Amino acid sequence: MSILTLRPWLGAALAVSAVALTTGFAANQLADYRPGDEKLGGDTTVYETGRNAFSLPAANMHTDRQTQFFVGNSFFKKAWVEAPSSTTARDGLGPHFIARSCGACHALDGRGAPPAFDHQLQAEQPMALLFRLSVAGKPEPVYGGQFNNDAIPGVKPEGKVQISYREQPGQFPDGEAYSLRAPSYAFTELGYGPMHAKVEVSPRIAPQVIGLGLLEAIREQDILAIAQQQKTGPDGVSGRPNYVHDAYAGKKLIGRFGWKANVATVAHQSAGAFLGDIGITSPKFRHEECMPAQTDCLRAPSGGQPEIPANKMDAVIFYSRTLAVPAQRNADSEQVRRGQWLFNQARCTSCHVANYTTGVLAGVPEVSKQRIRPYTDLLLHDMGEGLADHRPDGLADGREWKTPPLWGIGLFNDVNEHTHYLHDGRARNLTEAILWHGGEAEAAKQRFVQFNKADRDALLSFLNSL
Amino acid sequence: MFRHTLLGFALSAAVLSSSAFAGPVSREDVARHYATVVEASYTDTLTSARLLRDAIHAFVATPSEATLTSARQAWLAAREPYGQTEAFRFYSGPIDDAKGPEGRINAWPLDEAYIDSVKGKANSGIINNRKIVLSKDKLAALNERGGEENISTGYHAIEFLLWGQDFDANGPGKRSWNDFVDGQAANADRRRDYLKIIADLLVEDIASVAKAWQANSANYRAKFEKDPDALRKMMVGIGVLSRAELAGERMEVALDSKNQEDEHSCFSDNTHRDILTNALGIRNVWLGEYQRLDGSVLKGPSLRDLVADKDAKAADKVSADMDATLAAAQGIKAPFDQEIVQADGRKRVQATINALKKQANSLVEAAKALGIRKLNVKG
């Protein structure tokens, strides 16, 4: 990896003043394009749009390894049922859960959305939006670390989630109007009595599951080098790594996954989600998360010890590590290259770092030694009060979020028929998502706000090409 | 009866397939003839889906052992042409582009409890929830809602309502026709309505795809015949069906899990036919041949001819591999849910998987003769 590529501000950008930004750049300034730049996932890249864009195996996967991928896929998308059942391969759902399968939230391996609203009324319980709970960094004493709004028969659900949005209208300097939805969340019909008065709540939407093995294969030293470089930048950007315990490694590792980088490996993430979201025990997480006060949960039947055996768990982990990243669309078009140039100029790239060459991920040659463009630094940043959840997570504080990768963000509409963004899906389009950026991202956001309409559109075209 | 004629044809066609068209064929000829084959296949699929719909309407009007049996037979017959059309998937054509109805037509496996009562859960499913007003739009909207297994429509939802859950090692599900009789089963009225609605929806969805392939219209077919990418799309369709879908999703997973939940048509025990008709559909595309429901045979310029023009060895290898796949697939015995657990059956299933993988690799090689450097067979 060339370190220089991470520091666009060392080039001509330094000479750009805020005044020049308000008047728009000469429209002939384009980012370079070289054939192959569209391969965001290196040799894993697939050329696919439409519903299946996120569902293909790494393009460089050998045919003999695909069997494991298909088996993993099957256990990723098929529904679990309550024990005991005739469908012995997949029983053990719950007792508490929020979904019956991985694919329920990550539909078609894609991005979840908040529940639909019908005439300003919440039409359903959230599916792909979960809520982490804590009190002073520890699980909430009655409800645990996550709110489960579903349960098997004979066990009480923990309750319901009530969501409401407040519109906050605004406008760009050129007069174009926008409106941001500020969410608020409440829990109703609580199954086990009141929550602790000091409960901290963090909403988390299910992200697309492409390229996870590639992110896991990024060398820790490269992430730390970016953190060092950020300290020297002009915008006050200074990312920090999260370090979290990993059940598979048996020690603390640098966090890469989850909205607060609170998980280090795909293995831990997958097994953790099986337990926390579907109520399925696995070799590394052998005990259901029933809290002491939840006697009905503690008494519920089990679907086996563990409910998903090691070989099936491993297949799901392999699958989740090797889902391919789709290629950038129209990467050579003037509009996209213009947008990319502006993205660099606005210094979005301080955190949304493009270029890496991955290291070696043991046992997964598909994702090792790949030149990739995920547009993330995997670091935590203070994103300002507007996005803050005020809930610490590992080393992350209540205002910090991990920079999410941008690959695939132009395909949500193809795959999942929506364009919701950010950690809780509050943004209804990319413009709103950018406008929510604050804190360390405030300066970059302001540059976008000052762009003229044509430049803003070009930048959005670039994002949509990813 | 019908099955035997199909098999007979498959084997005799294997002998014919080397005596292909004389003289060079053009890419445009091949794309055009493919469109003819696609249209004929969907037209037959539509015809048989309408017969299925009529049989279902008759059954629902007067539930009895006889009307249920004829509805089941109509379902099995409808699957024969449909299975062959799956060779036209995976390149975002009318069947499975962003708005395509594929997910409503053939999604599987399904969570039975999402639709109706299951063993131990008498009140589960849309049918037993009287708050849900049953309509075509509503059931279409509920399909794949909240999870890929929450299937409410299509062939397999119909199959579940006609056969019920399969608890019999030696045969298919044993649902009683009484489930559709008021006073004999809870919510029988809704079960009847539900079945009728999804039968109607299936016909509509297939009709929309058939229309997109109609000749001489301003539709997908008109664009496809002129599409410089048409040949690659044809190859992707049969390559992905060979490797990722049929060998992978539909057979390797079931072989690995040894679980009937992982078989394609698990209620009717018709999975062995699904495998065979898929394999036949692939070969239809390769050879530019299709035997219609009425027994007539379409034949014309094919991918095989084009490849043979450039690389006869590569073309012959694909043809031989496809014949071997069909032979292996014919060896798979029903019911498939027993094949995947018994040692001999597992060997037969594995042999078919291996043949399909070999065929996919040969297709990747043959594609090079058409200027397709890296054919995607992975889905």
Contacts of A59 in chain B (CB under 8 A): 376, 378
Helix, strand, coil shares, percent, chain A, to 5: 30, 20, 50
Q: For A279, list phi and psi in degrees, rounded to 5.
A: 75, 35
CB contact under 8 A, A50 and B98: yes
Contacts of A125 in chain B (CB under 8 A): none
Measured over the CA atoms of residue B68, residue B74, residue B80 and residue B85, the dihedral's sign is: negative
Q: Which run of H or E residues covers position B215?
A: none
Which residue does chain A place closest to B243, by CA atoms?
A: A63
Q: Residue B52 corresponds to which tokens in the numbers above? A: 């299925």
CB contact under 8 A, B148 and A50: no
CB-count burial class (<10 Å; 0-12, 13-18, 19+) for A450: buried
pLDDT tens-digit map of A286-316: 999 999 999 999 999 888 889 999 999 999 9
State pTM to two decimals: 0.86
User: From residue A55, how far is each of A36, A69, A274, B114, B264 by CA, in Å?
Assistant: 22, 11, 19, 24, 19
pLDDT bucket at A79, cuts 50 / 70 / 90? confident
Choose among A50, A103, A414: nearest Cβ to B147: A103
Interface residue of A71, A93, A329 to substitute, partner B, most B CBs within 10 Å: A71
Which residue does chain A place closest to B166, by CA atoms?
A: A86
Q: For A17, list phi and psi in degrees, rounded to 5.
A: -95, 165
Interface residue of B149, B353, B354 to substitute, partner A, most A CBs within 10 Å: B149
Sequential pLDDT tens for chain B (379 residues): 333 344 444 444 444 444 445 568 999 999 999 999 999 999 999 999 999 999 999 999 999 999 999 999 999 999 999 999 999 999 989 999 878 999 999 988 888 888 999 988 899 899 999 999 999 999 999 998 767 778 899 999 999 999 999 988 889 999 999 999 999 999 999 999 999 999 999 999 999 999 999 999 999 999 999 999 999 999 999 999 999 999 999 999 999 988 887 889 999 999 999 999 999 999 999 999 999 999 999 999 999 999 999 999 999 999 999 999 999 999 999 999 999 999 999 999 999 999 999 999 999 999 999 999 888 888 7
pLDDT tens-digit map of A12-71: 333 333 444 444 556 689 999 999 999 999 999 998 888 889 999 999 999 889 999 999
CB-based contacts of B342, cutoff 8 Å, min separation 6 = none
Choose among B92, B150, B262: nearest Cβ to A50: B92
Which residue does chain A place closest to B96, by CA atoms?
A: A51
Residues B189/B181, Cβ–Cβ less than 8 Å? no
Check residue B13 and give its pLDDT. 43
Q: Quick one: which of A350, A381, A139, A440 has its CA closest to A260?
A: A381
Residues B139/B101, Cβ–Cβ less than 8 Å? no
Q: Which residues of A touch B (CB under 8 A)?
A: 46-47, 49-52, 55-57, 59, 61, 63, 66-67, 69-71, 73-74, 77-79, 81, 85-90, 99-101, 103-104, 107-108, 127, 414
What's the Rg (C-alpha) of chain B?
A: 21
Check residue A49 and give its pLDDT. 84
CA quadruple A28, A34, A36, A38: dihedral, nearest 10: -10
CB contact under 8 A, B111 and A55: no
Check residue B3 and give its pLDDT. 39
pLDDT tens-digit map of A338-390: 999 999 999 999 999 999 999 999 999 999 999 999 999 999 999 999 999 99
Check residue B15 and give its pLDDT. 41
Interface residue of A39, A45, A51 to substitute, partner B, most B CBs within 10 Å: A51
Q: Residue A456, CB half-sphere, CA atoms under 13 Å: how many?
A: 20
Choose among A46, A70, A108: nearest Cβ to B248: A70
CA dist B18 and B222 (Å) reads: 30
10 Å Cβ neighbour count for A41? Answer: 29
Check residue A41 and give its pLDDT. 98
> Above 70 in pLDDT, residue A319?
yes
Q: How far apart are the first and last CA of chain B?
A: 34
